[in-house]
Structure 1
Amino acid sequence: MNIVEMLVPDAYVFKNSNSYQRKWLVLHKTAGGSTAQSVASWFQSGAGGAYTSVHYVVGLDGVIVRCVREQDGAGGNCCLESGHDTFWPTNVNLNWVTFSIENVDPATDNSTPMPTAQKQSLFWLVKDLCTRQSIPMRPADNNGGIAGHSSIAPQSRARCPGNFAWNELWTFLKGASTVTPNKWQIADAQKEWQSTAYLFGGTAPNYDSGIAKAWAQRVYQGQRIGPPLTAEYDSTDWGGNAIRVQQFANARCEWRTDGSSCRFFDAHGEIV
């Protein structure tokens, strides 16, 4: 996924907050604005006041803008209001223990339905961030997870994130559905596949095979399988079934030649 970087000044972030365990992800909507870039520019200007920032902004068109580096804390998740969900810690500024993602919504009440491109990029980003940062991919509780801004500030942010595709997000994170990739996801997957072409004399392995298509679907869902390190080759599984195998930087694919299954394995076992 292509991510545009428009970092806010250091004065608006909590520098080097990795000494804290950030186990929650908070999702927002912008209640105004037209593009991820224009929202990021507003954060950069400091117009919102001290520490007004988020880690990422996702546009209606699917563009993702990074405003704050992940090793730093953003300023979008403060402060607790009366009626907040009880799992939030009360002895620390929540910006030290959370990540934040804004989603552009031009309506001031955050009532705009999320378009497909925005959902696709957001879902990919959420899964990728949660995977890398060990955030539970489920509704938030004392042990971490994902919540809306209204969970923290139910009075002033009761409509944040407002009209939001929660059910689709949970379905995606559970792996029960495959989201159709947008053009950026497609281009990034192709670029990653081609990145090891030098290992094969300048021409990457076949990108139209069953393994390649299964690999691309995993990448669209945020799994970090890595580019191919070998071409496909014939082998057999433990049951003596004929399989096609291909090695990737972070996983190995076993494709049953009868088409009944395609399984990926890493150092810890099968990737489900």
Structure 2
Amino acid sequence: MALTTALRGDGTAMPSPRRRPRARRRPGTALGAGLVGLWLSVIVLLPLAALTVTSLEDGLAGFWAAVTSPVALASLRVTVGVSVVVALLNAVMGTLIAWVLVRDEFRGKRFVNALIDLPFALPTIVASIVLLSLYGPNSPVHIHLNATRAALVVALAFVTLPFVVRSVQPVLLEADREVEEAAASLGAGNWTTFRRVVLPALTPAIVSGTGLAFARAIGEYGSVVLIGGSIPRETQVASQYIQQQIEIDRPVNAAAVSVALLAIAFVTLFALRLFASRSQRREEESP
């Protein structure tokens, strides 16, 4: 095979461009990808496909009628509205709790830190029983929240507590304290330092934790099943409506509302993924 060499204007040979070596596929890559795809198909994709097929048994018109029925729409409004309130509440209180756990020292700090993860380990129905005992008709503290939207907020705030806290904590631990000290030395107050220096660094973590809390709240059932009361158009959330439709033998209606909840959760998680990707790209591009 003949090789051609490019020449400069002075007659000297130009160095040939180096070819990048092709990435070699490791022997276990295809096997690992296949196992992951199979597992996700069995655990996630097939159940979702079955649910979607069930929701469309009466056609698109039947699906739309099931989702837009007055009681179904009311349950979706209650679910989304309460979940938004809980997510915003978590954004504020979760950030504050993470700040205290990272920046302050006090007795029992390790106990409080472990307490944050309790909603992950505790069955949510137990939380509903505890809340009903505390805020129900026979409340020992004389606070009666049973069958109110305030009860839904309290129950959902309990189960979604860890998301913002655990998202913000690592960022605070890795934060550069020297920048805050420099701002303070220039005369910035605590609030100005937090707003101008700390908060921009925490914003991606806060948004991520808040979105996860919202996605978790819209599908919650156990923690609200007793304290919420399940009053149609008032305190009945979508998960309770779905359970009610199953009990009265209307699986198509239950599947249709389930698909609507899944769509809301998927859009939320997809938006969070886009936000995280843009934030990471912005950090890489910044000097």
TM-score of the two chains, using structure 2 as the length reference: 0.20
TM-score of the two chains, using structure 1 as the length reference: 0.21
Structure having greater relative contact order (Cα 8 Å, sep ≥ 6): 2
